[in-house]
Structure 1
Amino acid sequence: MKSLSADHYRELLLSERPLIDLRAPVEFAKGAFPNSVNLPLMNDQERAAVGTCYKREGQMAAIELGHKLVQGKVKVQRQQAWKAFLDSHPDAILYCFRGGLRSELSQQWIAEVGHERPFIEGGYKGMRTFLMEQTDSITATTPMWIIGGMTGCGKTDFLKLRQDMVDLEGLANHRGSSFGRQVTEQPSQIDFENALAVQLMRHQQAENRHLVLEDESRLIGRVSLPLEMHERMQSAPLVLLEVSQQDRIERILRDYVINIAADFMARDGEEQGFLNFREHLLSAMDRIRKRLGDERHRELRATMEQGFDDQQHGNMDAHRHWIDALLSQYYDPMYRHQLEKRRERVAFSGDHQAVHQWLDQQAK
């Protein structure tokens, strides 16, 4: 089979089939599909030269230049990279930007080293359009429940126990607040949107009656939810988690202090990792300085710094103190103010167990 038509897009994306992205690294970095590996026909410089030639002299001259740039040892290197991947992933599928010349030429060269693999018609552009259409249609037709609650109430923990949810913060690799940055980088906007669309397709494939999502601003760190999807979330019913102040403090301590410190130290080594973790939390506190006011910011920052000293001796009380104060003086008043404007949307509230039971009843 030389190529796969648009009729295969859904199957390819849901089957987690390995994909070989033939585009240049600069194109791949802007966004690709889940399960893709970048094994380009041309590098960034070669692609730029061919593109310039195409604009000035037309397609035939550009094709001729491409063959001149990618020949001899360069061609062999590209072929060996494809062969090495296909030897261990023999079911992989090829794609370039539009499913045109780059796919056809790469397919020929791959055949020369012993692998016959199809490419995707329409390429990246076609599948990207398909995914955006899926996000719009699924979120337009699937009833939503939006899980809200005060900071630290465990919305993410709650969602991870459900089959009918899509984890937006997990896909964004960010906890959705000033303190929400992770040790690893967030995906590009396009990678986030593509992964989100695939997860929504999986949710649909599982025939869930409702889509359960965490209450989010449109921006989750530096990636943003699709506008139409976010607007629908803003009109969907709210379901609120209610937990004690002490439970919230302990959960924030675990997620934002203990676990993040461990992640930094695992990545950077114990000493440097702790220093980087320290800077990570102090920077988060500094980002909300204007909203806290100088005096309150100064007090909470000093308590946080004491917390770092005590943490190295196994004492977390100072960390608990600034977390408690930040919740009571900053996050909780802001949450209550926002909730008053959305009170009519609240469909149910309760502890984790009660909300799970209520949602399960709605799905029957």
Structure 2
Amino acid sequence: MVATAQDAVPDDIGALRAALTAALARAEDEAARAALVEAELAVARAKASDDAALIAHQHLTIRKLQRALHGQSSERSARLHDQMELTFEELESTATEDEIAAEQAAARTTEVAPYMRKRPARQPFPEHLPRERVVEPAPAACHCCGGHRLRKLGEDITETLEVVPRQWKVIQHVREKFTCRDCETISQAPAPFHATPRGWAGPGLLAMILFEKFGQHQPLNRQAERYAREGVPLSLSTLADQVGAGAAALMPLFKQLEAHVLAASRLHGDDTTVPVLAKGKTDTGRLWTYVRDDRPFGGADPPAAVFYYSRDRRGEHPATHLAGWSGILQADAFGGYVKRSGDLTPWAN
């Protein structure tokens, strides 16, 4: 006769209870061992992630020191530096995530200590930020004896940094009309000033649109999508119209800056690549920079820089930029610069 699992079950209730208790004890032991192994693995993983983040941070620090010491400013070096920062960012996030997981795993056992990362002391929050005091409810009675005769001894303050979500609003500029009881002439305050024609966008919104596009490299379609999610639908053409109007409003300031830069007898010139979204691909544009800075030579005039954009690197662009200027141009050996007579060779790049 073949024995089955059912035959192994005792008929006696006491024996059955003892067998069940033993089975539960074995299950608890196995669960404890599994929790121990899981905690040990989590702690080991957290330590490995922390080591990887530390190594990446040290490599990034060395790279920054090398750039500061040797002045490496090539495009390849800049791309490598950016890639190293992205790698460090990912490793740092992973290390913190693994640290929290190890802490949670260690809390399920008493035999493994959680892994705590060594962090530099956090800098205090800027003093210019407003402080909002939130006083936690005080205890009504002593937690030791239950007495109610409590006297304030002091306080501990823990600061957390918070951000107030962006709030949209519509400002109504009201121009009341008045009629003269003597001559029946209607009087009204003049319309408020707007930086752009048909100024439906306030100065704060206009500045945000321009900064997001040119300072943060956020295309207008991305901005339109984000604004729509916040409950303010603005079409792409509407935003583009404001960008053009804002550029026109800033043109007098640009002309003043351009005149100041091109009034110098010595300029530093260079160009750098700029990724440009094109149909079905990413194109490469050029940003041309001309800097006026005579401080190293004892000059007292304020330094300044002017930028021009082009879709390619043809030599006609610097020729156009500097058509009405004469002086010493310190630049690299690009043909568009070399064609200018009297320019310095690339020792100053």
TM-score (norm 2): 0.24
* Larger RCO (CA under 8 A, 6+ residues apart): 1
Greater percentage in helix: 1
TM-score (norm 1): 0.23
